[in-house]
Amino acid sequence: MNNHQYVAIMAGGIGSRFWPMSRNRLPKQFLDVLNTGQTLLQSTFQRYASFIPVNNIFIITFEEYAPLVRQQLPDLPEENILKEPSRKSTAPCVAYMAFKLLKRDPGASFIVSPSDHLVLDQAGFAGICQQAMQFAERHQAMVTLGITPTYPNTGYGYIQYEPEAVEEHVYRVKTFTEKPNLELAKAFLASGEFLWNAGIFVWQAGTVLKAFEEHMGEMYEVFAAEKDRFDTPEEYAALETIYPQCTNISIDYGIMEKARNVHIIPASIGWSDLGTWNSAYENMDKDYLGNAVSGKNVMVIDATRNMVHVPHNKLVVLQGLDDCVVVDTNDVLLICKKDKEQEIKDYMAEVKRNKGDKFL
């Protein structure tokens, strides 16, 4: 293992599309969504611990979730749980990590990763990450992982790349496109020039900070003014000064779409962003009627292709239901058609209007 290589796992999101299982107080990264015996955060941590020293793994999370991280990852040093005072998307998170690591280790390279994705080919993933880090170090480049698309998904971002490799399996990025409509997604797939954006980025701390200075000068200056307080007991107080001044913007919009030295490595690693109940359904074992069931006391009678997630101690009898999402918690029961799951955020807004925040 290389002691100059690090990973920042982002674990501060709410995971609203997995409501009502995912709640403000316990979002999906802290849940066993796929009924594997591990939470998504735990499986992500183990994925990186296979090739990054545990002391070099950092979890960046909303301050309220720090105790959950500590509980679920007891082997992680407590000082590696980094607390953000507010949610400001991914650009401030990356700037924070880059400034912190540059002060600690001027030769630091790091991976920025979501905490709630699925990767089936762990060994292949580790190999691609190591290749990306080595390329980033040699060329002072920014590298992202692109997932080879298998169908015209309209819920993912797409990255177009140059056809000629600059190095084996490494290509220069041409364009980023956010969540296209179906016709455009089909065209992307047919062209063979596009990959899904996995939201996993690799770079040296110094390289990405140069990009911040060039493309997001205001945010760079806000962090630079407080950088001497990083890696000291005053670090969180510095963040409380910094974050109210930061724009709520993703690293994709803020840096990656503007920078010139961006490269991509295509990956076929059994990846899913697990963004919706349908994506969980696709990645779970199913019975002979196509039902994906999490719950030890579920009886299915003439019901097909359902996504069912209920408490193990509750008897649930399902009859005559097809193509539905059924999620039961101790205070909320959701039953909706799978093809309407993108409207779950709308249902939550309606719940908030009528019932307040109690069920969110």
Instruction: Report pLDDT for 342.
Output: 79
Q: pLDDT tens digits, residue range 43-55? A: 999 999 999 999 9
Say whether pLDDT at 157 is over 80.
yes
Instruction: Report pLDDT for 2.
Output: 75
Dihedral angle at the C-alpha atoms of 91, 92, 97, 102, nearest 10 degrees? 90
What span, in angstroms and rounded, lies between the C-alpha atoms of 53 and 22? 30
- Whether 66 and 206 map to the same domain: the answer is yes
* 360, part of any domain: no
- Whether 51 and 200 map to the same domain: the answer is yes
Domain final residue pick, 243, 272, 301: 272
Average pLDDT over residues 13-35: 89
Phi-psi group of 259: left, alpha or beta (phi > 0 → left; psi -120 to 50 → alpha; rest → beta): beta
Domain final residue pick, 272, 302, 336: 272
- Whether 210 and 345 map to the same domain: the answer is no
Give the chain's mean pLDDT: 93
Say whether pLDDT at 276 is over 90.
no
Confidence at 3, pLDDT banded by 50, 70, 90? confident
What span, in angstroms and rounded, lies between the C-alpha atoms of 93 and 28? 19
Name the pTM for this structure: 0.92
- Whether 265 and 283 map to the same domain: the answer is no
Question: What CATH number is attached to the domain comprising 199?
Answer: 3.90.550.10
Instruction: Report pLDDT for 285.
Output: 92
Higher-confidence position of 41 and 13: 41
One-letter-per-residue 3-state SS of the chain: CCCCEEEEEECCCCCHHHCCCCCCCCCHHHCCCCCCCCCHHHHHHHHHHCCCCHHHEEEEEEHHHHHHHHHHCCCCCHHHEEEECCCCCHHHHHHHHHHHHHHHCCCCEEEEEECCCEECCHHHHHHHHHHHHHHHHHHCCEEEEEECCCCCCCCCCEEEEEEEEEECCEEEEEEEECCCCHHHHHHHHHHCCEEEEEEEEEEEHHHHHHHHHHHCHHHHHHHHCCHHHCCCCCHHHHHHHHHHHCCCCCHHHHHHCCCCCEEEEEECCCEECCCCHHHHHHCCCCCCCCCEEECCCEEEECCECCEEECCCCCCEEEECCECEEEEECCCCEEEEEHHHHHHHHHHHHHHHHHHCCCCC
Q: pLDDT tens digits, residue range 162-180? A: 999 999 999 999 999 888 8
Say whether pLDDT at 155 is over 90.
no
Q: pLDDT tens digits, residue range 102-132? A: 999 999 999 999 999 999 999 999 999 999 9
Instruction: Report pLDDT for 140.
Output: 94
Q: Which domain holds residue 293?
A: 277-355
Report the domain count for the chain.
2
- Whether 90 and 142 map to the same domain: the answer is yes
Average pLDDT over residues 180-188: 90
Could you tell me what percent of the chain has a pLDDT over 70? 100
Confidence at 15, pLDDT banded by 50, 70, 90? confident
Confidence at 273, pLDDT banded by 50, 70, 90? confident
- Whether 230 and 282 map to the same domain: the answer is no
